[in-house]
């Protein structure tokens, strides 16, 4: 029998803080955080468990400390050391920003995070391209990580975020592993995500093919990409977005729903009830969903979410499909994964349920993201 330890549950009395801390810990395999620094923040937060502002104060204090180290290293020409520290600072700023309501303070923290990520990625992964994907008269920000082992036009993964993560995270935890196996990756902030939401005021939408099609056309137009071998993948809430895209954009040759969703509105009805009883027991702050959807409050958000369903959509998917789910997922019930799997129209479809024994049993394998991306990358390699 497996018993939860403080690796997953850093704050027994505060699941919102525990979940966000675990998301940050999950970046460790790619050198984007330091577990000792995280532990220092966690210990300070335990002493301030009843102070909501403690979350952003402690995470941004650690971020600023690491950022100063990065700036000093950069000034002295120690660019590799600077890059390492900038990546960690970017992650800590982003973690702190998560619990700050929309406004100037949130944007200020985010800009610091983005600045550090840019400085870190540029030094650690100089081959990564900062690109713009055309989108309805404007553009979506993205990173194109080419595979150093690819020979000729290569298979490519278009990777969107979820409700909380960002392209700066996914280009590392997915892009690095995919590149090692010969895949290029386009990590993109779509509507309602990361930079597209924060700095370009682009809210989410139910018809996500509006972003998925231009992303396909961008990578398909590159000489280093094989347009016959492009897959769509998205993380967490992206378990709704990516299937929606694949249902209407048939040129994608494979689909990975890294996190299962079917009727996103129904899932949020249960979350909203739980949040009203005790927000600490929810993974998400009360302001997050309305902000992502571009509406004033939860009532308006719930109304807008009614269109976020794969009913009558999933059956249109024809390409090979992988759905990933953790048996201890606390954000979506297991019947959601079963429902998506049952309704997908593809002949080649896989529902992978990660167990506590093998690792990756939490939502989107955040307790062991390495296990998750290894499985996904191997599945993709067998099909593209």
44 domain residue, yes or no: yes
287 domain residue, yes or no: no
Task: Give residue 2's pLDDT.
Answer: 44
| Distance separating alpha carbons of residues 150 and 94, to the nearest angstrom | 32
Residues 100 and 164 in one domain: no
Residues 174 and 85 in one domain: no
Residues 224 and 350 in one domain: yes
Task: Give residue 1's pLDDT.
Answer: 39
Residues 146 and 208 in one domain: yes
Joined tokens for residue 15? 């699941």
275 domain residue, yes or no: no
Task: Give residue 126's pLDDT.
Answer: 97
- Output DSSP code: residue 314: G
- Is the distance from CB of 292 to CB of 166 less than 8 angstroms? no
Sign of the torsion angle spanned by Cα atoms 152, 181, 234, 121: negative
What CATH number did the domain enclosing 19 receive? 1.20.1440.110
Other beta carbons within 10 Å of 44:
15
Q: Of the residues 123, 152, 169, which one is the last residue of a structural domain? A: 123
322 domain residue, yes or no: yes
Residues 160 and 119 in one domain: no
| Distance separating alpha carbons of residues 284 and 269, to the nearest angstrom | 13
Burial classification of residue 77, based on how many CB atoms lie within 10 Å of its CB (0-12 exposed, 13-18 middle, 19 or more buried): exposed
Helix (H, G, I), strand (E, B) or coil at 186: strand
Q: Into how many domains does the chain fold?
A: 2
Q: Of the residues 89, 123, 157, which one is the last residue of a structural domain? A: 123
Give the helix/strand (H/E) hosting 138: strand 138-145
Residues 75 and 196 in one domain: no
Task: Give residue 279's pLDDT.
Answer: 85
297 domain residue, yes or no: no
Residues 204 and 234 in one domain: yes
What CATH number did the domain enclosing 235 receive? 3.40.50.1820
Residues 347 and 246 in one domain: yes
Task: Give residue 313's pLDDT.
Answer: 98
Residue 93's region, left for phi above 0, alpha for psi from -120 to 50, else beta, is: alpha
Instruction: Going from the first residue of the chain to its last (384 residues), give the mean pLDDT of each consecutive group of 10, the final group possibly shorter.
Output: 68 93 96 97 96 97 98 98 98 98 98 98 98 98 98 97 96 98 98 98 98 98 98 97 98 97 94 86 90 97 98 98 96 94 98 96 95 98 97
Residues 367 and 314 in one domain: yes
Domain hosting 37: range is 15-123
Residues 107 and 247 in one domain: no
82 domain residue, yes or no: yes
| Distance separating alpha carbons of residues 345 and 321, to the nearest angstrom | 9
Q: Of the residues 72, 98, 123, which one is the last residue of a structural domain? A: 123
316 domain residue, yes or no: yes
Residues 6 or more apart in contact with residue 221 via CB below 8 angstroms: none
197 domain residue, yes or no: yes
Residues 105 and 251 in one domain: no
- Output DSSP code: residue 356: T
Task: Give residue 5's pLDDT.
Answer: 62
Residues 141 and 233 in one domain: yes
Residues 6 or more apart in contact with residue 169 via CB below 8 angstroms: 27, 32, 91, 94, 161
């Amino acid at each position: 029998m497996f018993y939860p330890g403080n690796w997953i549950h850093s704050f027994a009395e505060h699941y919102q803080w525990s979940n966000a801390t675990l998301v940050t810990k999950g970046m460790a395999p790619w050198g984007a955080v330091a577990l000792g620094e995280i532990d220092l923040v966690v210990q300070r937060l335990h002493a301030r468990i009843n102070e909501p502002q403690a979350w952003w104060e402690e995470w941004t204090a650690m971020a600023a400390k690491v950022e100063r180290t990065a700036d000093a290293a950069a000034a002295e020409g120690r660019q590799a050391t600077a890059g390492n520290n900038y990546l960690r600072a970017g992650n800590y700023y982003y973690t702190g920003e998560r619990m700050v309501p929309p406004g100037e303070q949130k944007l200020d923290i985010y800009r610091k995070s983005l600045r550090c990520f840019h400085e870190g990625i540029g030094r650690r992964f100089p081959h990564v391209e900062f690109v713009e994907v055309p989108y309805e008269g404007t553009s979506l920000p993205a990173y194109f990580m080419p595979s150093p082992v690819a020979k000729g036009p290569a298979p490519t993964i278009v990777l969107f975020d979820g409700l909380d993560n960002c392209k700066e995270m996914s280009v590392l935890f997915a892009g690095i592993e995919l590149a090692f196996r010969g895949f290029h990756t386009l990590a993109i902030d779509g509507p309602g995500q990361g930079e597209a939401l924060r700095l370009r005021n682009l809210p989410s939408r139910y018809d996500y093919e509006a972003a998925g099609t231009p992303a396909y056309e961008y990578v398909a137009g590159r000489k280093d990409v094989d347009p016959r071998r492009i897959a769509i993948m998205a993380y967490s809430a992206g378990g709704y977005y990516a299937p929606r895209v694949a249902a209407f954009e048939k040129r994608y040759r494979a689909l990975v729903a890294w996190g299962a969703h079917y009727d996103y509105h129904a899932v949020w009805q249960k979350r909203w009830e739980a949040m009203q009883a005790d927000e600490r027991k929810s993974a998400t702050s009360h302001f997050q969903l309305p902000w992502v959807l571009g509406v004033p409050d939860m009532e308006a958000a719930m109304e807008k979410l009614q269109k976020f369903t794969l009913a009558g959509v999933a059956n249109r998917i024809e390409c090979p499909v992988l759905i990933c789910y953790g048996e201890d997922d606390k954000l979506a019930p297991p019947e959601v994964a079963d429902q998506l799997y049952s309704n997908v129209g593809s002949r080649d479809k896989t529902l992978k349920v990660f167990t506590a024994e093998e690792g990756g049993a939490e939502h989107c394998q955040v307790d062991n993201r390495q296990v998750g991306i290894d499985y996904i990358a191997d599945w993709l390699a067998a099909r593209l």
